[in-house]
Every structure is written in structure tokens, then in C-alpha cells.
Amino acid sequence: MILNLNEKLDITGHLTISKVHRDGREELVFDDHNIIVSGMGVALAHLFALSGSESILDYQIDRFQVGVSGSTALEVDSTNQLSGPLSSFAEYGFDNNLVMVSANQILNNTVVAFPRIFCIIPQQNITRIDSNTVRYTLVLDDLAANNLIRNSVATPLNEIGLFIKNPKGQEEDASILVAYRKFSNIYKTEDFSLVFRWSINF
């Protein structure tokens, strides 16, 4: 039932990614649909059945992760986590504009008490486009997630996920992946910011 809920509600999405250079020039580097995953159905099922959090704020899409091991194999509705999410505050970088939190995550409808790093989406970056569409603008500024190294090798960003805050109403937030996308490799440096514009149609 949960897996079918996304289809019944016809939830879709679209993602664009732009490099914004220091001179203000904007370069579109990705433009495609995204995958709405079963976590959306899990969260909405809790909401509609009144079986999860009693606070509507816990059902907000208000955080994201980026990662380095994106795979087209994950572009299926059963995906529940990024393959290689950035795993520390240091990887996301300091002295940038990101607000980051450490929180638990829901995997296979179970809360895993192993905190992950999430970036909070500022409220001013959540925009209602029309009666059915919300756009989330996610920004990795010029000081964020730069010059990543894994196994002594320069490593690109190539996956991103959107999360709902805490649909089960846990005492400590436990977030769930609701949308995922692999994208072409981007070696992030201080020469540009990355702007993700993610539209979800409900």
C-alpha cells in the first residue's frame, strides 16, 4: 500500500543544477526529472493514518544530503538512502552558509540510531510556485563541500536526496528520504557555488 501511495497521488519532480561563478555567471549543468522514492509514501501514510508525528512540522521536506557514490541503480522507488553521503561536518565544510544537523534516519521503515549529517533548507528557499508545485532551492556556496578526497583521490559530487524531517514523531529527529537523483560528476571548488532547484509536484 505504501509503495502505491506515490503513484495514487501522482507525485513527480524535476531538478536543475547550476554552477554560479564568482562573477555572477550562471552555468546550467543538469536538467532532468528526479525519482520520488517510497519514503514519501511512508511519510504520507503516517500522516493520513494519524499514526506518526502529531506535529505537521515533522512532515516538512526541510533537509537534504549530497553524496559521492551516485548510481542509476538507486533511481528506483525502493531506494532509502544515498550510496555515499558526505559523512561529517568537515566534508560539508566550515565558514559557509549551511546549517547542518546530525540526526537519525529511517531505513526500510525502521529508525536507525546512527546519526547522519543533514543540511537544513532555509524557509525562504522553499517557494510555492502554484497550487500543486513547491520549489526547494538548495545552495552549496563557494565555501561548501570543496576539494573532497576519498581514498587519497579527488572525488566529485554526483548524488543528492531530499528528506522529510521526522514523520514517525521520534523524540530525536529521524528523517526519511523522499526524492533522489544521481547527476553527472561535479568537482566542487571555491571557484563556484552550486545551486540545486528542485521542484516537487503534489
Average pLDDT over residues 73-93: 94
Which residues fall within 8 angstroms of residue 191, CB to CB, at 6 or more apart? Answer: 21, 22, 142
Residue 197 has pLDDT above 60, yes or no: yes
**In the predicted model, what is the mean pLDDT of residues 40-65?**
94
pLDDT of residue 10: 81
Q: Cell 579527488 sits at which residue?
A: 154
**Residue 126: strand, helix, or coil:** strand
Q: Does the structure show a pLDDT above 50 at 12?
A: yes
> What is the pTM for the complete model shown?
0.94
Query: What is the tens place of the pLDDT at every residue in 124-147?
Result: 999 999 989 999 999 999 999 999
Phi, psi (deg, nearest 5) at residue 57: -65, -25
Close Cβ partners of 24 (under 8 Å, ≥ 6 residues apart) = none
pLDDT single digits (tens) 167-189: 999 999 999 999 999 999 999 99
Residue whose entry in the numeric block shows the C-alpha cell 519514503? 39
For the chain, percent of residues with pLDDT exceeding 70:
96
Distance of alpha carbon 100 from alpha carbon 190, whole angstroms: 19
Domains of the chain, by residue range, sit at 2-201
3-class DSSP assignment, residue 202? coil
1 pLDDT band, cuts 50/70/90, is: very low
With bands split at pLDDT 50, 70 and 90, how would you rate the model's confidence at 113? Answer: confident
pLDDT, mean over the chain: 94
3-state secondary structure of 134: strand
* Cα 156 from chain centre: 17
For 202, residues 6+ apart whose C-beta sits below 8 A from its C-beta are 9, 11, 132, 133, 134
